[in-house]
Structure 1
Amino acid sequence: MLKWIMPVLLVVACLFGVYLLATDLPAKPKDEASGLAEGQELLKIVATTTDYKFDQAEYHVKAGTNYKIKFSNKSGKHGAHIEGANIDLNENNPTVEYTFPESDKGKTFELKCSIMCGQGHATMASKIIVD
């Protein structure tokens, strides 16, 4: 009685597979560190709305090293302000190059969300520690 269901499902699955192959699939992830200048390091800061936190509680950087600081959101509207270094990152300005001077060795910089992102905005903070 229902012998036609399996062949129809098989045809639909095949057509769906052909559709996926014919359309744009997501691009392969790029190695972000490959475009850095010699001696430069990448400091990636990621913000999330689900728990109003940055991806790390502490970021460790080396004094005297040039960093390409890259900011990204997983969801929502966020910004990143590094107090004391006068760095303000957001979706319009997601990257900056910065060298933490040797005089900053042992210092801790506060990293706070600079855009009112919701009810967890006041506690959205992290630290950048210069080693």
Structure 2
Amino acid sequence: MQKWIFFVLFILAGALGLGVLFQDISGRQQAREAEAAANKGQQLKIVASNWQFDNTNYTVKAGEPTKVSLSLKEGVHAVEIKGLDIKLDKENPSKQVTFDKPGTYDLECVLPCGEGHAKMKAKLVVQ
């Protein structure tokens, strides 16, 4: 009698383990799909170093979801895209945005970062 009880308990434990395994796989697959959907669209990566950005001009397409991110290579900086209410810094390094209005916008460091701070500017062209 005890052998049958242990056998049934063993089968139930195995079935429970398989259920947990497949649930975990399904959860990871959903997380990957959500991440892929979030990464769909364009990306605007701004790299800031001492008193300069990695580019003087950035270009994005209007109407497409865009992940705007700030990467700090050297120093501490904060960037603002004037006229678009986008501000990125060390605490908030990225933002999901859809640029609606084509045009040219000023991009500048808004955190005093040293002697070359005033020259730390670039342009963003939304096409």
TM over 0.5: yes
User: Which residue matches 1:60?
Assistant: 59
Q: CA deviation at 1:36?
A: 5.5
* Percent sequence identity over aligned pairs: 40
CA 1:119–1:86: 2 relative to 1, 3 Å: same
Alignment pair present for 1:129 and 2:122:
no
Alignment pair present for 1:110 and 2:106:
yes
User: Which residue matches 2:94?
Assistant: 95
Structure 1 runs not aligned, ≥5 long: 1-33
Amino acid at match of 1:69: V
Q: CA deviation at 1:37?
A: 2.3
Structure of greater Rg: 2
Query: 4+ runs of 1 displaced by more than 3 Å?
Result: none
Give the aligned CA root-mean-square deviation in angstroms.
Answer: 1.5
| Structure in which a larger fraction of residues adopt helix | 2
Q: CA deviation at 1:38?
A: 6.1
Under a length normalisation based on structure 1, what TM-score does the superposition of the two structures give? 0.67
Q: How many residues align?
A: 93
Cα distance in structure 2, aligned partners of 1:95 and 1:89: 6
Structure 2 runs not aligned, ≥5 long: 1-34
